[in-house]
Amino acid sequence: MTSTCVTRHLSLIDKDCLHPIDKAAVTVAVYTGPRSNELFALTMEDVVRDFSKITARRSITQSVTFKMPKTKKGRTVLLQPPARDALKVLVADAEKCEAADLTVWLNRHESRTDHVRVLLSPKTQTRKAVVNDYFVPSAWNTKWATLVRRAEIRARSAYQTRHTYACWNLTARGNLAFIANQMGHKDYSMLVTVYGRWIDTESSKELERIWEGMQNMAQITPKLHQKVTV
């Protein structure tokens, strides 16, 4: 990802999200890379107390039906500092609301009930008398289009935040298996196929990193061998 693109995304967060909830929502999206329908189904109860990680346990459909994530199971996402700070804002806002019972469909015939407080609700900012309790992809797309237009950057879909997360992590030379797991991919083949151009396959820094690791192994291995044979 070019530095210009990074600057634009950070500008959108810092300058063009006028409401603190919008700023927090976009920050979480960019720094955790969830699918949009997973982001809107996140609840206060999905965030651990020290804000080090969240668990994506459900997703929401356009018809406001809650179901399991695309992978059919929950996944833990470890949080970078900006995401932790953003979630503190969202949790503080969610604490003001009463918990509600959400029916989460595990499959076509089975469901569970989650007693939770959803982190992102259109009711936070709306001036209308009647409004949905929960964001759905189309509602967020409208808000996202406004944010992008205000930022004066090229029009792009809200799903772009997921791509941004992937590209930032790959450009920073993150472990492919780790990134794939964070994003909820079955394996890292999707990353290679979709984001291959962001994966540096020839770098002197990578060689140095591998050599440093090999040297560390050489220092540890004799000690381990000695410990086992004594």
Helix intervals (H) in 95-203:
137-151, 160-171, 176-183, 189-195
Q: What is the pLDDT, as a whole number, of residue 211?
A: 77
C-alpha torsion 192→194→197→202, nearest 10: 0
Q: Is 64 left (phi over 0), alpha (psi -120 to 50) or beta?
A: left
* Catalytic hit among 70, 75, 156, 163: 70
Active site residue 35: yes
Is 134 considered catalytic here?
Answer: no
Q: What's the CA angle centered on 202, arms 201 and 206, to 5 degrees?
A: 90
pTM over 0.75: yes
Q: Which pairing describes strands 75-78 and 59-60: parallel, antiparallel, or unpaired?
A: unpaired
Quote the pLDDT of residue 195. Answer: 82
Q: What is the CATH number of domain 3-196?
A: 1.10.443.10
Please pick, among 23, 58, 67, 162, the residue that the annotation labels catalytic: 162
Are 206 and 56 in contact, with CB atoms under 8 Å apart?
no
Tokens of 163: 């791509």
Backbone angles phi, psi at 156, to 5 degrees: -155, 160
Q: How far is CA 169 from CA 33, 80, 163, in A?
A: 10, 11, 10
Q: To 5 degrees, how large is the angle CA 68–CA 74–CA 76?
A: 145
pLDDT of residue 109: 95
Interatomic CA distance for residues 35 and 153, integer angstroms: 22
Tokens of 23: 């700023």
One of 84, 143, 185, 188 is an active-site residue; which one? 185
The pLDDT, as a whole number, for residue 158 is 87
Structure letter (DSSP) for residue 103:
E
At residue 59, the 3 state secondary structure works out as: strand
Q: Choose, from 8, 23, 35, 58, the residue flagged as catalytic.
A: 35
Question: For residue 188, what pLDDT is reported?
Answer: 86
Sequential pLDDT tens for the chain (230 residues): 444 555 566 667 766 677 889 899 999 999 999 999 999 999 999 999 999 999 999 999 999 999 999 989 999 999 999 999 999 999 999 999 899 999 999 999 999 999 999 999 888 876 666 778 899 888 888 888 888 888 777 888 888 889 889 988 888 888 889 999 999 998 888 888 888 777 765 566 777 777 777 777 777 665 555 554 54
Q: Which pair of tokens denotes residue 90?
A: 């969202």
Name the residue ranges covered by the structural domains of the chain. 3-196, 205-229
- Determine whether 188 is an active site residue: no
* In contact, 32 and 54? CB cutoff 8 Å: yes
Number of neighbouring beta carbons within 10 Å of residue 69: 18
- Which position among 31, 165, 188, 195 bears the catalytic label? 195
User: How does DSSP classify residue 100?
Assistant: E
